Chain A
Amino acid sequence: MSDMEQIEKKGAVLVIGAGIAGIQSSLDLANSGFKVYLVEESAAIGGIMAQLDKTFPTNDCAMCIVSPKLVECGRHLNIELLTNSELMSLEGEAGNFRARIFKHPRFVDLDDCTGCGECAAVCPVNTISVFDEGLVQTTAVYKPYAQAFPNAFVIEKNETPPCQLGCPANIHVQGYVALAAKGKYKEAYDLIRMNNPFVSVCGRVCFHPCETQCYRGEYDEPIDIRSIKKFIADYVHSHHEEMEKAEIAKPAGEKVAIIGAGPAGLTCGFYLARMGYRVSIFEKDSQAGGMMRSCIPPYRLSREELDWEIGEILKEGIDLKLNYPIESASDIEKLKAEGFKAFYVGIGAQLSKMMGIEGENMKGVWGGVDFLKKVNYGEKVDVGKKVAVVGGGNTAIDCARTALRLGADEVNLICLETRNLESKDRMPAHSWEIEEAEEEGVIIRDRRGFKGIETENGRLCGVLTTYCESVFDKDGVFAPVVCDDIAMPIISADTLIIAIGQGSDLSGFDFLKSNRGTVSIDPETFATNIDGFFAGGDVATGPASVVSAIGQGHEAAISIDRYLRGEDLIAGRDNIDRTPSTKDKLYVPPESRVEIPELKPEDRICNFDEIELSLTEEEVRREANRCLSCGICSGCLQCEIACEANAIKHDMVGEMVDIEVGAVILANGADKYDPSHKYEYGYGMFPNVVTSIQFERILSASGPFAGHIERPSDSKKPRKIAWIQCVGSRDTVEHKHYCSSVCCMYAIKEAVIAKEHESEIEPTIFYMDLRAYGKDFEAYYNRAKETGGVRFVRSRVGKVLEIPETGNLMVYYSTEDNGRQFAEEFDMVVLSVGFEPSSSLAELENRLGIRLNRHSFVETSTFRPVSTSREGVFVCGPTSAPKDIPETVTQASGAVAGAESILASARGTAIAEKVYPPERDISREQPRIGVFICHCGINIGSVVDVPSVVDYAKGLPNVVYASENLFTCSQDTQEKMKSIIEEYKLNKVVVASCSPRTHEPLFQETLRESGLNPRLFEMANIRDQCSWVHRENHEAATEKSKYLLHMAVAKAALLEPLPSVTLDVNQSALVIGGGLAGMVSAISIAEQGFDVNLIEAENELGGNMRNIYFTPAKDDVQGYLQSLIETVEEHPRITVHKMTRVSNIEGYIGNYKTTITNGETEKKIEHGVIVVATGAEEYKPDEYLYGSNVNVITQNELEEKLFNADKGLKKAKNIVMIQCVGSRDEKHPYCSRICCTKAIKNAIELAEANPKANIYILYRDIRTYGFNEEYYEKARDAGVVFIRYNDSEKPVVSQIDGKIKVEVKDAILEADIAIEPDYLVLAPAIVPRAGAVDISRMLKAPLNEDGFFLEAHVKLRPVDFATEGVFLAGLAHAPKTMDETISQAMAAAARACTLISKDKYTAESIVANVNQDVCVGCGICEAVCPYSAPKIIIKDGKKVSEVNVALCKGCGNCACSCPSGAMEQLGFKYNQTATMLENALNL
């Protein structure tokens, strides 16, 4: 501690994970004076709870109860939300840490995004919806869910798709394919032209390296990307006239000269012209196109298309000068003199390489390029009858096929390489070119070296060849080995075309020439060595492809632009992220590649028509839909165009931020088990087998089927649904040595809710032990079983098979009562998947420096349940063990107590205060009411005709504004509401939506922010009271909505501002109960810097803990207890009152006066808050001979004997334990939660102490939830025998001469079992203490049916009471284990400190108000008030009532009991209520 006190404490806390745990922690911290950084790895807060439909055991809608917390957390001034972020490192020590956070790019600017959704509307990509668990698809730009906070979109990217990486021109291939799939051809065309102006040309002749890279090729065949591109170009060409044309501005920038109108030069010119430069292209030939025109034959690229495409390029404002050779230095100088500031050389490689052999100049011998050029420029060329072509490349093939078309009878293609395309010596031509040539009749003579020509009468008559053994050496260098001695037959020929290579004619550009005969360039910028000169295409690289030339032309244009603007050429271009998309998420739907139709060989060799025919639009869209969307976001940029707010930032990059905090709370939750490799259940193979979380989405009104229960395969309504429990839990083979704690209850809930949705559904739950161990869970289970129509089958399912014809599923199981195997048909199967440790923990373990336990969850210990192994780093929720929502929320507050204990001295040092605008005085204004009507997604909108309610509202008196919203509570709508209040000068606001219980504070906050008193607000609940209860009758629901709205509007007109009452707070606490819970709470509050009075009824602290000696984890319980007692008794801020009872509690939040009694002595204590920790006790059994046979003992008694090494126990041969004694029966219908683990713990101790003893545990369900399952496993391994009995056939215990006999029926053996034990150990129930009733009465804090204290909300307010200022912990709440008690006690302390950390409290403003002139002082109000707020006083000699507004809870009892009408409830005054009724009735 001394070290800790020296370091400078930070008043801020880092919370990792923004599920319900992280949200609760953040709110508690921020509400007690700490700054919070909330880091969430996904794009929105809410976690798994936001995905759930309802919650057990109350069937509350999960979203409805969590949504206000999302908004409060998101809007909180002192909570800084960092979404898409992860912790990278944590340095420093408790009290003063430095955390490094990496913020991943969202690609949408949170400051600008309005959540309007225009981006998603145009996004062509479909990807699986993570929020809907893959049941449906969403777009690549999406909002995680409707109520998500931040209410903003996010773009999902998976690095760069392989097609784009493969493309030399870096085209957004996935983007245009995705657009084509949606029929957006013009958009696709424009997208391609961002990187490649030759859409049509490349659609025809590109060698499509994109397809080679396409991941789909690894599954079946790559997408036919080229054909899609061709279709896009043809579509735009043929629909050109009707398309909107953008105005092209005439370029006016610097002059740039481009030499050569081939693909490189035209591309370079195109982009420069688009950038505004004045471009002139100088072409020495009579037509533009370069090699595309001279070398590519028209049967591959029609001249009409080429001309059109070049025309489109020139339209950008390019000046094309034909027949204009630039051949000398003086030509260049002339251009410079004309003002050209930069030069691009793209003159290609148009010279045929010859072999330098005798006869090469003879008639009938051609160079390849020369031959093609002549033909392609329309000159007459006579090829004779027999043509030999030398060369194995694409040009040779083109020559051969052209020769055929010119009338040659026979064409032989002679090449060194082999036709075997698998060989290292393969021909360099593309495979499809070779195949097409062969189809047309070209004969390939491979592995032949050219030796010479044979002449006859001075005319060419044949070609001599030799055998070529190999072409490339082992390093891949061209080094042909030709066997001159092996003579090959002469190939007769009258024409010979030599197509073995090309070169560039660099005359005039000597100053650029390299020793390789090309222009040397920088490979990134395409700048030459000479200032102002750039080059690219074949002239720089040697003969390559059209698409490479295009890519290079584009890059050079960028360089020239930078050059002319005096910028650095390379900056930012050499470090572009080229990471390819990962493959792990790809889903490959079966669909084979489309076949491209072609002319038949016999129809094509007689002409130069394009041989490839076009795909139909339908085929193109089908083919485009085969795309796997590897990059998820396709980069089509449609969202960027659609976004009015300019929020889309595709080039956003990640950012590292460092923050300083004093503590860390780890709340990143757990993962869901993936059942796809439990093959026997068929998940992933059979569509109607879903996970439980998928079923939550199916049930949810905001889910994929809008709350209609449908099965995925055919949308059919399922009738029989089976739940299979323990999938990925209690499965040692899957390394899951634990129970997931929540699945039994959520499965029951899902079954009950499904049945409520559709009464014909027949739910069946297959389970091993039904673990309804939590508060009110057993009652829920019993209701489901007895009246809820849920069938429970005790059996773990062996396998699930699909019946292919129907999609139904056969479930194989075997019940224990007859051992037979059954096969039963179901329409749908739900797998109750368990928890898995969060996958992010593996990294966080190192980054945070914390230890994980053997289950790979975060390690904690019994007595420090929210602490990790690193001081100052706390943990809560399923991050440390599987647990349900109440325990998660409890731990979240508990972790806050841990953090605040360290940081108490820094409280308030890092926060900002909220300042509201001054309240507008509306006293002189006429009512101006604004009405906001909510669709609540489809909750309201699918039943109530919202637009007609809006119209109706517009006609109501005083209404100056009315509108509808999809979600009125969403952040953007709230912002909109503020601006509307201002614009329309509203002074009253009415919202027709959901329940004021959950949402009123949110809307009132918006009013305050707009300068209106929050009470000038009225709500009509048209969801619960209209759309939900009248789901079947849309018209009536709509009519009723109008009634309710009319009433609300009428009342709103009469609303008055109510001032808020601020009270002083006594910043100290009273803790009632000195057991474990009370002591921990007291210490925690004291450590946070506040005084505590601790009241204990007995003369010793410790409560039930004094009877506990062991824990399953073998902790030193008594040692810990002693240290706790010492801490409590020695702490300067804690005053302990032993042998003391609370006899009276007066006062109210912040100002309590409690009377305590110690024997005859009475004392009054003043304090601000109360923690109730009065505990519970063991039930004293009257069954199973307890009390009449000394050898029948309770588990507590056994534990004491074990601790004292009892001799009788050591000698015992047989010991029987009976579970559920007084639990789960008529007396105590609830489960006592801890008895199973306690019995198992004692059985293990016993087995260790007396290994020879036979130990039998008679149980109904073993409820070793969470990691306790391990001890169940350990006990079985230790030889403890477990025998299950049924509630209807309880064990029978008898005695003869003191000898005990236990009889029980074993279901599996179908036999009666008898055991004669030495000891019979009973596990009695935990029952509430008798004194709880008094405390309940004094505090007006309710008890539940079972006599335990009832918290404010079982899910989200587990340690609060409805009465503010009073908190709850320990067994007084419900049975629980020591670690759970400690968490809850800390939570109660943290919650209490949210109040006493401030010296002021703002009370309820809706309170009772007496008109003392009318009051007759009858005293009825005083009698009916549950909070003792009104008192009769004598004023001016007259008895009148007076209300203590701090005590008043606004319940209204007094107002409606007052006979004189003197008592009124503010906010519900007589005239206000009466007007509502009048309007309702007069409608």
Chain B
Amino acid sequence: MTTIVLNQQDPKFKEEVASRPGAENFKLCFTCGTCTASCPVAEVNDEYDPRKIIRMSVFGMREAVLGSDVIWMCQRCYVCYARCPQNVKFADVMGVLREMAVEEGYAPKERIEEIEELDRFCQELRCDLVQNMTNPDEKMKSSIKAKLDKHLAR
């Protein structure tokens, strides 16, 4: 098990996060886990744990947070936001962390747009798949495949 020496972390990090719009309440997190228990991403991905991201941020683990893939996993469905008893607005906190990751060079600046596009693509894909499920159709199937291939080719 790794040891995290808190003296070596960046105590300013949590204040920086909290100073940005949307993340005002993030320090109020008392690690109850409602977010993780409600999260549709956590439902399918055991590695994804919103509570852990907040925790790392509170500990000042700037590099580990901003450089991590997990901050891009959030689907921003706002379920955690709705249920959090401390009004942490996790989905907005994610937005702040993503901005900071781009600003500080942990992620390319196109990343935010790419993720938005990916989200839109996933929504389209879902609609197509639902339609194909209720009304199977060869044309639809090949259209789905084509869209997916096109996306993977990027």
Contact = CB atoms under 8 A, between A and B. Distances in A.
Interface of A: 680, 726, 730-734, 768, 795-799, 812-816, 818-822, 1214, 1254, 1256, 1262, 1272-1273, 1276-1277, 1279, 1281-1282, 1284, 1303, 1305-1306, 1308-1316
B84 A1256 contact: no
21 contacts: A730-B30, A731-B85, A732-B28, A795-B37, A796-B37, A799-B83, A814-B37, A814-B42, A814-B51, A815-B33, A816-B31, A819-B46, A821-B36, A1262-B30, A1276-B28, A1277-B27, A1281-B59, A1308-B52, A1310-B1, A1313-B3, A1314-B5
A1309 B4 contact: yes
Interface string B24-36: 0001111111111
Interface string B99-126: 0000000000000000000000000000
B63 interface: no
Given A730-B85, A1273-B28, A1314-B5, A799 B37 contact: yes
Contact of A797 (B4, B37, B86): B37
A1256 B14 CA distance: 14
Given A797-B34, A1314-B3, A1314-B6, A733 B49 contact: no
Given A726-B85, A1314-B5, A1308 B46 contact: no
A768 B43 contact: no
A814 B3 contact: no
Contacts of B84: 733
Contacts of A1256: 6
B38 to A, nearest CB: 4
Given A796-B85, A1214-B7, A819 B27 contact: no
Contacts of B31: 816, 1282, 1284, 1308
A1384 B44 CA distance: 54
Nearest to A733: B87
Contact of B32 (A734, A795, A1276): A795
B52 to A, nearest CB: 6
Contacts of A1272: 30
B97 interface: no
Contacts of A1214: 6-7
- Top 8 nearest A-B pairs (CB, nearest first) are A798-B37, A819-B49, A798-B38, A796-B32, A814-B36, A731-B85, A814-B37, A1312-B3
A29 B3 CA distance: 62
Nearest to B39: A821
Contacts of A1273: 28, 86
A799 B33 CA distance: 12
Nearest to A813: B37
A1480 B87 CA distance: 68
A818 B52 CA distance: 10
A1401 to B, nearest CB: 53
A134 B22 CA distance: 42
B73 to A, nearest CB: 13
A820 B46 contact: yes
Contacts of A732: 28, 85-87
Given A798-B38, A1316-B7, A1282 B85 contact: no
B37 A812 contact: yes
B11 interface: yes
B15 interface: yes
Given A814-B51, A1308-B31, A1308-B52, A821 B37 contact: yes
Nearest to A725: B32
Contacts of B52: 819, 1308-1309
Nearest to A1272: B30
B58 interface: yes
Contacts of A814: 33, 36-37, 42, 49, 51
B90 to A, nearest CB: 12
Interface bin, chain B: 35 or more
B142 interface: no
Contacts of B35: 798
A731 B84 CA distance: 8
Contacts of B83: 680, 798-799
Nearest to A769: B30
A1312 B42 CA distance: 24
B6 to A, nearest CB: 5
B55 interface: yes
Contacts of B86: 732-733, 1273
Contacts of B27: 1276-1277, 1279
Nearest to A1213: B7
Interface in B45-97: 46, 49, 51-52, 55-56, 58-59, 83-87
Contacts of B11: 1254
Given A798-B38, A812-B37, A1276-B28, A1313 B85 contact: no
Contacts of A731: 85
B4 A1282 contact: no
B2 interface: yes
Most buried by B among A798, A1313, A1314, A1316: A798
A796 B33 contact: yes
B70 to A, nearest CB: 11
A680 B34 CA distance: 11
Contacts of B56: 1309
Given A814-B42, A819-B36, A1311-B1, 4 more contacts: A726-B85, A733-B85, A1214-B7, A1277-B27
Contacts of B1: 1305, 1310-1312
A1296 to B, nearest CB: 14
Contacts of B4: 1306, 1309, 1311-1314
Nearest to B58: A1281
Contacts of A680: 38, 83
B51 A819 contact: yes
A1284 B31 CA distance: 10
Contacts of A822: 37
Contacts of A816: 31, 33, 51
Nearest to A1284: B31
Contacts of A815: 33
Contact of B3 (A820, A821, A1303): A1303
A541 B89 CA distance: 67
Nearest to A680: B83
A1279 B15 contact: yes
A1254 B6 contact: yes
A231 to B, nearest CB: 49
A583 to B, nearest CB: 29
A1125 B99 CA distance: 59
A1468 B129 CA distance: 87
A799 B7 contact: no
A1246 B35 CA distance: 31
Contacts of A768: 30, 32
B7 A796 contact: no
Nearest to A798: B37
A263 to B, nearest CB: 61
Nearest to B46: A820
A835 to B, nearest CB: 16
Contacts of A818: 46
Contacts of A1314: 3-7
Contacts of A1310: 1
Contact of A1308 (B39, B51, B87): B51
Nearest to B60: A1254
B64 to A, nearest CB: 10
A1315 B9 CA distance: 10
A1310 to B, nearest CB: 7
A1309 B49 CA distance: 10
B56 to A, nearest CB: 7
A1211 to B, nearest CB: 15
B9 to A, nearest CB: 9
Contacts of A1312: 1-4
Nearest to A1252: B11
A1214 B35 CA distance: 30
A67 to B, nearest CB: 38
Nearest to A1216: B6
B34 A798 contact: yes
